[in-house]
Amino acid sequence: MTDALLIPCPHCNGLNRLPAERLGDAPRCGRCKQAVLSGAPFELTQASYASQLKGDLPLLVDVWAAWCGPCRAFAPTFEQAAAQLLGRARLAKLDSEAHPQLAGQLGIRSIPSLLLFKDGREVARQSGAMPLPQLLAWLAQHGV
Give the interface with Zn ion as residue ranges (CB under 5 A). Answer: 9, 11-12, 14, 29, 31-32
In the complex, least distance from residue 129 CB atom to Zn ion, rounded to whole angstroms = 30
Where are the extended beta strands (E) located within 40-88?
A: 42-44, 59-64
Annotation marks residue 71 as catalytic:
yes
Question: Which C-beta is closer to Zn ion: that of 36 or that of 108?
Answer: 36
- For residue 7, CA distances in Å to 12, 49, 50, 87, 88 come to 12, 14, 13, 10, 11
In the complex, least distance from residue 12 CB atom to Zn ion, rounded to whole angstroms = 3
Bridge-partner residues for 93, per DSSP? Answer: 43, 62
Question: Which C-beta is closer to Zn ion: that of 35 or that of 68?
Answer: 35
Active site residue ranges: 68, 71
